């Protein structure tokens, strides 16, 4: 009986430990935020809300006084994203450490965080799916500089870049007779297809659109990444102006441009706040297309609208470096 009771106690204890682990996994970041401790990743996982990221950091966890050591970073662009440009990778918050050498010395990016003691390297561009290795050589201070006591420094890095996120929304306008025939389902909400990136373009509309009705297209921009958009973002909307009509674009602050192939472009500068940015666009068929749905036997007309948002973005992380106390044993 005692053995059975001990086993049951052990199982109960294991369940409690497992429950604590699960709570820490799912609620640990929230608890740290409540305590005023910010959660900053060592490296980035390139999921659908990521553009560029530092996917690997190779650096010693502890170094000896007066030594030099290397830190190598793998910078990757999401395979499901777009090409990145104007990239700056910066080390900062060095504490007592110093940068001895880097691939190249660049003036700090004027946007984003101002460097205090670090250095930036400039990367002109990185195509989607590409991985780039960048290495720094750093030096540790002599023991006298830190009093030969236990010392550890979280060296920070900043990744600053320009990026584009895109989305596509298809519209389907059906004739009144085709709709009445029962061959078309009732209107439902249609979501857009999007590319990877921290700034997500979300569009929604109720479709198909019955002849004689207009549609309100909901457009939202939100930051779902681990960093911060810098400055204003530029949104561009491409569509076939001979099919689709957006009459209120100018009143919403959009600039209109047309091209010889019949494509039209709307553009506007917007600011993504902590709550994001959103607007409504009234979309309708052009008069000529409306007439086709009456006089012809065409049951429906389809057309795509393409969205892109260009922005600068910055995200950060860190890696800890500790110092041995003399005398030490490597």
Q: What is the pLDDT of residue 129?
A: 92
Instruction: Judge if the upstream peptide bond of residue 327 is cis by omega within 30 degrees of 0.
Output: yes
Q: What is the pLDDT of residue 235?
A: 93
Query: Can you tell me which residue has the tokens 């660049």?
Result: 106
Domains belonging to the chain, first-starting first, are 37-162+314-323 (2.60.40.1170), 164-313 (2.60.40)
DSSP lists the bridge partners of residue 82 as none
Q: What is the pLDDT of residue 239?
A: 92
Neighbouring residues of 128: CB distance < 8 A, sequence distance ≥ 6: 77, 78, 79, 80, 81, 82, 83
Query: Which run of H or of E encompasses 137?
Result: strand 131-139
The token pair at 166 is 């895109």
Q: What is the pLDDT of residue 4?
A: 36
Would you give per-residue pLDDT tens digits along the chain (330 residues)? 333 344 444 444 443 333 333 333 333 333 333 333 333 345 566 888 889 999 989 999 999 999 999 999 999 999 888 999 999 999 989 999 999 888 766 665 656 666 777 888 889 899 999 999 999 999 999 988 888 888 899 999 999 999 999 888 888 888 877 777 777 766 666 666 778 899 988 887 777 787 777 788 888 899 988 899 988 899 999 999 888 888 788 888 899 998 888 889 999 999 888 778 888 888 888 887 877 877 777 888 888 889 999 999 999 999 999 998 877 555
């Amino acid at each position: 009986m005692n053995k059975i009771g001990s086993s049951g106690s052990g199982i109960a204890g294991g369940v409690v430990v497992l429950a604590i682990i699960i709570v820490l996994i799912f609620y640990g970041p929230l608890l740290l935020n409540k305590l005023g401790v910010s959660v900053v990743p060592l490296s980035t996982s390139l999921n659908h809300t990521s553009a560029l990221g530092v996917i690997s950091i190779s650096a010693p966890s502890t170094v000896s006084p007066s030594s030099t050591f290397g830190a190598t970073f793998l910078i990757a662009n999401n395979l499901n994203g777009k090409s990145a440009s104007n990239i700056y990778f910066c080390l900062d918050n060095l504490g007592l450490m110093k940068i001895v050498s880097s691939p190249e010395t660049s003036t700090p990016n004027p946007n984003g965080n101002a460097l205090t003691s670090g250095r930036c390297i400039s990367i002109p561009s990185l195509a989607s799916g590409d991985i780039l290795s960048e290495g720094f050589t750093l030096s540790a201070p002599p023991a006298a500089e830190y009093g030969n006591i236990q010392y550890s420094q979280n060296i920070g890095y900043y990744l600053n870049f320009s990026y584009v996120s895109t989305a596509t929304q298809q519209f389907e306008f059906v004739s009144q007779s085709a709709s009445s025939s029962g061959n078309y389902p009732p209107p439902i909400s249609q979501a857009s297809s999007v590319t990877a990136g921290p700034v997500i373009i979300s569009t929604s509309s109720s479709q198909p659109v019955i002849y004689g009705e207009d549609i309100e297209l909901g457009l939202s921009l939100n930051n779902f990444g681990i960093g911060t958009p810098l400055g204003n973002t530029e949104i561009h909307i491409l569509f076939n102006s001979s099919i689709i009509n957006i009459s209120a674009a100018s009143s919403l602050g959009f600039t209109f441009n047309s091209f010889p192939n019949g494509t039209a472009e709307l553009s506007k500068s917007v600011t993504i706040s902590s709550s994001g940015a959103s607007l409504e666009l009234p979309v309708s068929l052009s008069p000529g297309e409306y007439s086709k749905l009456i006089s012809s036997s065409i049951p429906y007309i389809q057309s795509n609208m393409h969205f892109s948002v260009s922005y600068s973005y910055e995200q950060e992380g860190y890696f800890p470096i500790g110092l041995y106390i003399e005398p030490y044993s490597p």
